[in-house]
Amino acid sequence: MVIEKNKFKIDIFDDQYSIISDEKESDILKASGLVDALMREIADTSTLGDRKKIAVLSALRIASRLVSLENSLQKLTDSIKKKGLSSSI
């Protein structure tokens, strides 16, 4: 099976990146918009001038959101299993 890869150009924090991915363009654009907005928010509300630190703090905030969502999903999955609503989860 051949997975088609597409090339996208995205802008994050005034830098342009060329991305090659098999993901949908809309997902790539949404993700890059989220990263860009978060980096700008951190830059605007902090005294950090170092772009690398802004990027790391943005990544940490996104990772924290991911962990929170994974925990919520696990609780929901456990609840469904406990109630016997699905045997395929």
Question: Residues 5-64: pLDDT tens digits?
Answer: 999 999 999 999 999 999 999 999 999 999 999 999 999 999 998 999 999 999 999 999
Beta bridge partners of 8: 19
46-52: list long-range contacts, CB under 8 Å, 24+ apart.
51/13
Whether 69 has a pLDDT exceeding 90, the answer reads yes
C-alpha 16/C-alpha 23 separation (Å) is: 18
- Whether the model clears a pTM of 0.85, i.e. scores above it, the answer is no
> What average pLDDT score do residues 72-85 get?
91
Per this entry, what is the length of the chain? 89
Spans of all domains in the chain: 6-83
